[in-house]
Amino acid sequence: MTLTERERFKEVIRKRRDGVPLQLLTGEVSFFGLRFRVREEALIPRPETEELVEKALSLAPKNRDIRCLDLGTGTGVIAVCLAKFLRRANVTAVDISPKALRLAGDNAELNGVADKIVFQESDWLGKVHGRFDLIISNPPYIDEALLEKLPTEVREHEPRVALNGGNNGTEQMELLLEDVRSHMNSSAVLLLEIGDSQASQVLQLVERAGLVKANIANDIAGKQRFVIATCP
């Protein structure tokens, strides 16, 4: 090992000791068998979101062209996986952050699906047009009052906009759901990742939005983690 390499290694150790997530130090993660770049402008993908993608892939129609919408795309893992594994899908990936959208675009290029994804800057559905067959989101769901209690590596190195769900952690989901039905085709499916104590609240919001067949699914740890609903 050269002197330069030793110094770089020491710098990595120091940053990790100071709470910088390992994923940011390596600059990439594996998600659903694919490689993704990660940077501080977007939330580091979690295993629960891999489960969300798995559920989406199992529910999506395979025998026809479909339109998919990823709300709050971040690193782009959801959008890229939908484009990669649903052969007849056209995907729109939305985020409020231009930096996150650039990162997601880089990851689409990295995984060979940039031609199947449209990236759009929007505050939830504000600038989104058209209707979709599958809408999926991992929205911010941390209660604002709990943000300062998060581990240092999350609190200091991941974007607040991707974590802060407002009061009770459900305010951003409420905004997302306000106009969601008008963007869904008949029988379209909505999938949301939620906090493990939010199931009853989110079910009420989903039903208020006019969706039906709303139900909760647990994650692999047995926590109520996903809401799935259908447009009439």
Tell me: pLDDT of 94 over 70: yes
What is the tens place of the pLDDT at every residue in 54-66?
999 999 999 999 9
Give me the pLDDT at residue 20, please: 82
Q: What one-character-per-residue DSSP string does 138-166 give?
A: ----B-GGGGGGS-HHHHTTS-GGGTB--
Report the number of distinct structural domains present in the chain: 1
Give me the pLDDT at residue 33, please: 96
pLDDT level of residue 9 (50, 70, 90 thresholds): low
Q: 25 lies in a domain?
A: no
Q: 118 lies in a domain?
A: yes
Domain range holding 155?
Answer: 41-230
- What is the β-pairing status of strands 117-121 and 28-31? unpaired
Q: What one-character-per-residue DSSP string does 158-201 give?
A: S-GGGTB--GGG-HHHHHHHTTSGGGEEEEEEEEEE--TT-HHH
Whichever domain contains 222, its CATH number is 3.40.50.150
pLDDT level of residue 70 (50, 70, 90 thresholds): very high
Q: 36 lies in a domain?
A: no
pTM assigned to the model: 0.93
Mean pLDDT of 196-222: 96
96 CB neighbour count, 10 Å cutoff: 15
Q: 211 lies in a domain?
A: yes
**Over the chain, what is the mean pLDDT?**
94
Indicate the residue type of 14: R
Q: 135 lies in a domain?
A: yes
Q: 33 lies in a domain?
A: no
Q: Would you state the structure tokens that stand for residue 131, as one six-digit string?
A: 């209707």
User: DSSP alpha helices (H): ranges in 27-97?
Assistant: 47-59, 77-85
Give me the pLDDT at residue 10, please: 67
Tell me: pLDDT of 26 over 60: yes
Q: 215 lies in a domain?
A: yes
Give me the pLDDT at residue 13, please: 67
Nearest residue to 191 via CA among 18, 54, 3, 46: 54
How many H-runs (helices) and E-runs (strands) does the chain carry? 8, 9
40 strand-pairing partners: none
Q: 184 lies in a domain?
A: yes
Q: Which residue has the higher pLDDT, 1 or 19?
A: 19
pLDDT level of residue 165 (50, 70, 90 thresholds): very high
Containing H/E element for 228? strand 224-230
Give me the pLDDT at residue 24, please: 86
* Residues 61/86, Cβ–Cβ less than 8 Å: no
Give me the pLDDT at residue 162, please: 95
Give me the pLDDT at residue 5, please: 58
